[in-house]
Amino acid sequence: MRKQNSKSILITGVSRGLGLAMAEGFIARGHTVWGCGRSAKAVDEHRRRWGAPHQFDVVDVSRDEEVRAWAQRAKTAGFVPDLLLNNAALVNHNAPLWDVSADEFDQVIRVNISGVANVVRHFLPLMLPRSKGVIVNFSSGWGRSVSPEVAPYCATKWAIEGLTRALAEELPKGMAAVPLNPGIIDTDMLRSCFGADAGSYPSPKEWAKGAVPFLLTLWAKDNGRALTVGEEG
């Protein structure tokens, strides 16, 4: 069902976790979702589950050329995001910083920071002519505090806070960029950090019941605000 005030929503990292739960929630409310992930299997399942006007693509956000081609396809299709959710991210395997390999460290930086910049670089120019739209860069409690064994991840989420607040100062009037701490949710990422204890936190579906309507309320006045799901107001 597509409704009159249907928004066009771009979500990175829709294979599973929060990205998938948001895609389900927005589509159920009549909005149009374009999403990406690295998993061809997940993208294929989403394509079979949701046809046009929704669109799912295999895109690795850390690869600038793939993001460029994705944005070009959006431009050709006339898809301009009203809401751009930079959700895709990785966490390092729990370890003290000195035991994290250079490859793993670089990969976390490439996805969590460069990936966000790549998406902004190629999709923001589609949004600018309308001076309208909201960019939400997923941060974390670990973008505002720290814990041991997740130093690379913390570094990226603190970076997202700064990157987003600086971007907010660059945007024309009418647009917004916000760093968002989604809260603590039982996803693969949380299982990697917390093990079985992750089971005591809400599922992505439960989380999305509050997060999806909240995300739809964001607008120009929120520009530059560091937000947290469940602490809106």
Ligand X SMILES: NC(=O)c1ccc[n+]([C@@H]2O[C@H](COP(=O)([O-])OP(=O)(O)OC[C@H]3O[C@@H](n4cnc5c(N)ncnc54)[C@H](OP(=O)(O)O)[C@@H]3O)[C@@H](O)[C@H]2O)c1
Binding of residue 111 to ligand X (CB under 6 A): yes
In terms of C-beta density within 10 A (0-12 exposed, 13-18 middle, 19 or more buried), how is residue 123 classed?
buried
CB contact burial 47-74 (16+ within 10 A = b; e otherwise): eeebeeebbbbbbbbbbbebbeebbeeb
| CB of 41 or CB of 130, closer to ligand X | 41
Q: Is residue 136 a contact residue for ligand X (CB under 6 A)? A: no
d(CA 33, CA 45): 15
User: What angle (nearest 5°) sits at the alpha carbon of residue 22, between those of residues 132 and 53?
Assistant: 65
Look at the alpha carbons of 41, 43, 45, 48 in this order and tell me if their dihedral is positive or negative: negative
> Active site includes 153?
yes
Residue with tokens 């299982």, as numbered in its chain: 191
The residue count for binding ligand X (CB under 6 A) is 32
- 38 near ligand X (CB under 6 A): yes
Part in contact with ligand X (CB under 6 A); list of ranges 49-57, 134-142, 215-223, 224-232: 134-142
Burial of 23 (0-12, 13-18, 19+ CB in 10 A): buried
Kindly state the smallest distance separating residue 161's Cβ from ligand X, in Å.
12
- Among 8, 32, 87, 164, the residue binding ligand X under the rule CB under 6 A is 87
Q: Taking CB under 6 A as the criterion, which residues in 183-222 touch ligand X? A: 184-185, 187-190
Asked whether position 109 contacts ligand X by CB under 6 A, the answer is: no
* Contact call for residue 71 and ligand X (CB under 6 A): no
Tell me which residues in 5-24 interact with ligand X (CB under 6 A).
12-19
Does residue 144 belong to the site contacting ligand X (CB under 6 A)? Answer: no
Rg (CA), the chain: 17
39 binds ligand X (CB under 6 A): yes
- Of the candidates 79, 153, 158, 207, the residue annotated as catalytic is 153
Residues at the contact surface with ligand X, assessed by CB under 6 A: 12-19, 36-39, 42, 60-62, 87-90, 111, 115, 138, 140-141, 182, 184-185, 187-190
| Catalytic residue numbers, as ranges | 153
